[in-house]
Amino acid sequence: MALFLVIAFSFPGTGDSGDSVMHFLVAHYAFLHPELFLDHWGKPVFTLFSAPFAYFGFVGMKIFNVLAAMGTMLLLTNMGGRLAIAKPWSAAGFLILSPGYFLLIFSGLTEPFFGFLLCLAAWLLLLDKWQLSALVISLLPFVRPEGLFFIGLFSFYFLLHRKFRFLPWFLFGHLALMLIGWPYFKDPFWVFNRMTNAVSGVYYHPGGDPWHFIRQLFYMLGPIVYGLFIIGLAGVFKQAWKKWPRPFTFQLSILAGSILIFIIAHSIFWYFGIFKSMGLVRVLICIIPLICLLAAQGFQTLLQLANAHPRIRVLLTSLVLLLALVFPFSGNKASINWFDDFRYSADQQLILDLGDTLHSIDPEYRQHIRAYSHPSIPFLFQFDPFLPEISRTVHPSALTALPDGSLIIWDNWYSVTENQTEAADLESLGFIQIGNFSDGRFEFLVYQK
Mean pLDDT of the chain: 89
Asked, for residue 183, whether it belongs to a domain, the answer is yes
Q: Considering only residues 342 and 379, tell me which one the structure prediction assigns the higher pLDDT.
A: 379
User: Across residues 345-367, what is the average pLDDT?
Assistant: 88
Q: Name the percent of the chain lying above pLDDT 70.
A: 96
Confidence (pLDDT) at 308: 59
Residue 137 shares a structural domain with residue 272:
yes
Dist CA 18 CA 89 (whole Å): 34
Q: 318 and 267 in one domain?
A: yes
Residue 101 lies in a domain: yes
Q: Looking at the domain assignment, is residue 170 inside a domain?
A: yes
Same domain for 23 and 139, yes or no, is yes
Is residue 380 included in any domain, yes or no?
yes
Claim to verify: residue 354 and residue 324 sit in the same structural domain = no
Average the pLDDT over each of 82-86, 185-189, 245-249, 417-421 and give the range with the smallest value: 245-249
Quick one: DSSP state of residue 256? I
436 and 307 co-located in one domain: no
Q: Is the pTM of this model over 0.95?
A: no
- When mean pLDDT is compared over 64-68, 272-276, 316-320, the highest value belongs to 64-68
**CA 77 vs CA 84, 93, 101, 407: distances in Å:** 11, 9, 17, 53
The whole domain housing 80 covers 2-329
d(CA 104, CA 364): 34
In a domain, 337, yes or no: no
Looking at the fold, whether 321 and 378 belong to one and the same domain comes out as no
- Is the same domain home to 191 and 290? yes
Q: Examine the domain organization and report whether 304 and 382 are in the same domain.
A: no
284 inside domain: yes
pLDDT in tens, 64-110: 999 999 999 999 999 999 999 988 999 999 999 999 999 999 999 99
Give the C-alpha separation, 108 to 22, whole Å.
Answer: 8
Classify residue 191 by its DSSP letter.
H
Do 423 and 298 lie in one domain? The reply is no
In terms of domains, do 164 and 252 share one? Answer: yes
